[in-house]
């Protein structure tokens, strides 16, 4: 299983249920990486999308405790056990965890690859991703050249879990 995330210098990922910044090249990378795949997210992440609608051309699986929550085009699961049952239907390599903070934390140990866009800036934030550089089981296996978006510098990193 994979995960994909954009983080700032402090591994922050969001503020008030919104991304910290929208970088077109990062959005393009996300779209190209996850199109045709399975994306796993929490309810608040789904609600942060335009009109609260599932992402097009992907299988959207939403983990929520609210048993009455339903959105057309998304598969709802209400526990990790239910999520694992649903995920058995798909190739693990085609599954991408896309947030938010709670879902990342619950599923990080089950992921083998992390696609991390590291933004060299410190944003105000209230949601964070675990710092993979502090986790000995995760190693950087790929790094892009420096990218820029206006005055922001960022890099695309690939982390892999050491077996």
Total domains in the fold of the chain:
1
What is the CATH number for 6?
3.40.430.10
Going residue by residue through the chain, which has 163 residues, state the pLDDT in tens, using 9 for 90 and above: 999 999 999 999 999 999 999 999 999 999 999 999 999 999 999 999 999 999 999 999 999 999 999 999 999 999 999 999 999 999 999 999 999 999 999 999 999 999 999 999 999 999 999 999 999 999 999 999 999 999 999 999 999 999 8
d(CA 31, CA 48): 16
Q: Which residues contact 24 (CB under 8 A, 6 or more apart)?
A: 149
- What's the mean per-residue pLDDT of the chain? 97
Please tell me the predicted confidence (pLDDT) of residue 163: 80
Whole-model pTM: value is: 0.97
Residue 58's nearest CA partner among 70, 42, 40 is 40
Q: In which residue are the tokens 């090249």 written?
A: 25
d(CA 20, CA 143): 21
* Range(s) of the domain holding residue 149: 2-161
Q: What angle do CA 91, 93, 99 make, to 5 degrees?
A: 105
Please tell me the predicted confidence (pLDDT) of residue 7: 98
d(CA 113, CA 12): 19
Q: What angle do CA 108, 110, 116 make, to 5 degrees?
A: 40
């Amino acid at each position: 299983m994979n995960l994909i995330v954009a983080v700032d210098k402090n591994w922050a990922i969001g503020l008030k249920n919104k991304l910290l910044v929208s970088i077109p090249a990062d959005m393009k990378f996300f779209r190209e990486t996850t199109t045709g795949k399975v994306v796993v997210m929490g309810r608040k992440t789904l609600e942060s999308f335009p009109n609260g609608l599932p992402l097009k051309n992907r299988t959207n699986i939403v983990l929520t405790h609210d048993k009455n929550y339903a959105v057309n085009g998304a598969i709802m699961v209400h526990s990790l056990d239910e999520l694992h049952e649903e995920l058995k239907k798909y190739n693990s390599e085609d599954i991408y965890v896309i947030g938010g903070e709670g879902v990342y934390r619950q599923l990080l140990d089950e992921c083998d690859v992390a696609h991390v866009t590291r933004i060299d800036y410190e944003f105000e934030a209230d949601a964070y991703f675990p710092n993979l550089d502090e986790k000995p089981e995760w190693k950087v296996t790929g790094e892009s050249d420096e990218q820029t978006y206006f005055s922001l510098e960022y890099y695309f990193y690939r982390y892999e879990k050491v077996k």
